[in-house]
Amino acid sequence: MGATELVYLDHNATTPLCEEAWEAMVPFFRENWANPSSGYRFARRAREAVERARAQVAGLLGVTPEEIVFTSGGTESTHAAVHSAVALHPDRRHVVTCATEHDATLRTCEALVARGYEVTVLPVDAGGRLDLGAYRESLRPGRTACVSLMWANNETGLVHPVAEAAALAHECGILFHTDAVQAAGKVPLDLAGLRVHYASLSAHKLHGPKGVGVLYVNRGARFQATQLGGGQEGGRRSGTLNVPGIVGMGAAAEAARRHLEADRGALAARRDRFERDLAQRVSGMHVHAAGAPRLPNTSNFRMDGVDAQGAILLLDTRGVCVSSGSACATGSIKPSHVLTAMGLSSRPARETLRVSLARTTTDEEIDVAVEALTAAVGKLRVARP
Ligand SMILES: Cc1ncc(COP(=O)(O)O)c(C=O)c1O
């Protein structure tokens, strides 16, 4: 099946490359394939392109280019940030995070527990919200090495109060990292005005290429690198730079910055129409995190008595791509840890679907998805024993 026949509504998983990124990348595969660290003139174009990309990403975040470190993606950035924070404070053996974080954060924290750290995993309410009072209580001045709190959740789209959480951590002298992978390009991230020390980004979530990301390191924050070697990126991340990827990320960030304001309103309107139209056609539809601040592109919902895996298969036969709130783990269906943390039992979690839009999503695609979902619900509810 070609991409043109698809109704792709899974943009929180990954996004198609935008034209700007593709155009910017091609010359760095074909003609300008030099290692940007080399000393001869042939390498200068690559070096300049990397610096342009650094400025473009900095522009999206409202920070300075020196604060941008290129990595291989969101997972590496988060790993580097948390490990930097604990390495900088060897006497502090406590870390704070949240139950609905991405596995990149949760697995990194688990590895710390195995090394004898104490990790406070803060709960969320039924809407996916963090209790800021409980968060404040969890901070231990002089003993907590860092907080890692995602800006926006990849499944529900819930947006955490990162500005407030970062300020509270700052008051306690604690390093603050935010996984902004899903937020970047969808909501404004004016990091310069916040007490955020580290932030993770991933190019492929904002119409850039896969396998490239950014770690923002606030210029006032110390940083201890985990990936050592040739000393690239000012010693903050060694390894030969992925020039085409970085250039693509820069162009995608620049395009996201240009489109951001218009996209936000249009995305939210389309997402809301999707939810309204589906609720009119299908009884027993419940939108998760509906009353909380949400990313404008994300809808996470369940439909009573409709198995999400079955719905995904039926939608797939019509070329409609969405994802579910559960994953197949060693032969059994495991509900997502995000929904479980929000108090959903395994059955409603297995009835949960995620639809995530992008600026390329059209009204017609929304209509096709609503139609396909309505038909799938008809079949699956009849088929239910
Ligand atoms: C919230 C969040 N954090 C981190 C990641 C990991 O990013 P990457 O795929 O670039 O490693 C993802 C990707 O799914 C994500 O959604």
Residue 203 CA, closest ligand 1 atom number:
10
Please determine, for residue 3, whether its predicted confidence score (pLDDT) is greater than 80: no
Going by C-alpha positions, the residue among 307, 301, 300, 311 that lies closest to residue 351 is: 307
Does the C-beta of 75 come closer than 6 Å to ligand 1?
A: yes
For the chain, count helices (H), then strands (E). Answer: 11, 15
Q: What is the pLDDT of residue 334?
A: 85
Burial of 270 (0-12, 13-18, 19+ CB in 10 A): buried
- Considering the entire predicted model, what is its pTM? 0.96
Catalytically active residues, by annotation: 328
Structure tokens, 199 = 């932030």
Please determine, for residue 286, whether its predicted confidence score (pLDDT) is greater than 80: yes
Ranges for all domains in the chain classified under CATH 3.40.640.10? 19-256
Q: What is the pLDDT of residues 229-249, one digit of tens each?
A: 999 999 999 999 999 999 999
Q: Please check whether residue 67 is in contact with residue 58, taking contact to mean a CB–CB distance below 8 angstroms.
A: yes
Ranges for all domains in the chain classified under CATH 3.90.1150.10? 3-14+260-383
Sheet hosting strand 118-122, strand order edge to edge: 68-71, 213-217, 198-202, 175-179, 144-148, 94-98, 118-122
Does the C-beta of 104 come closer than 6 Å to ligand 1?
A: yes
| 341-345: average pLDDT | 96
Q: What is the pLDDT of residue 222?
A: 97
| 59-67: average pLDDT | 98
What's the gap in Å between 180 CA and the centre of ligand 1?
A: 9
Phi, psi (deg, nearest 5) at residue 210:
-80, 155
Does the C-beta of 325 come closer than 6 Å to ligand 1?
A: no
Q: What is the pLDDT of residue 333?
A: 75
What's the gap in Å between 282 CA and the centre of ligand 1?
A: 32
Q: Kindly report the protein residue whose alpha carbon is nearest to atom 8 of ligand 1.
A: 74
Residue 130: strand, helix, or coil? strand
CATH class of 19-256: alpha beta
Q: Kindly report the protein residue whose alpha carbon is nearest to atom 5 of ligand 1.
A: 74
What's the gap in Å between 215 CA and the centre of ligand 1?
A: 13
Does the C-beta of 213 come closer than 6 Å to ligand 1?
A: yes
Fold of 3-14+260-383: Aspartate Aminotransferase, domain 1 (3.90.1150)
Residue 329's pLDDT band, with cuts at 50, 70 and 90, is low
Q: What is the pLDDT of residues 167-210, one digit of tens each?
A: 999 999 999 999 999 999 999 999 999 999 999 999 999 999 99
Q: What is the pLDDT of residue 327?
A: 66
β-strand pairing of 323-324 with 352-356: antiparallel
Please determine, for residue 385, whether its predicted confidence score (pLDDT) is greater than 60: no
Does the C-beta of 177 come closer than 6 Å to ligand 1?
A: no
Q: Kindly report the protein residue whose alpha carbon is nearest to atom 16 of ligand 1.
A: 154
Distance CA 271, CA 195 (A): 31
Does the C-beta of 102 come closer than 6 Å to ligand 1?
A: yes
Residue 104 CA, closest ligand 1 atom number:
4
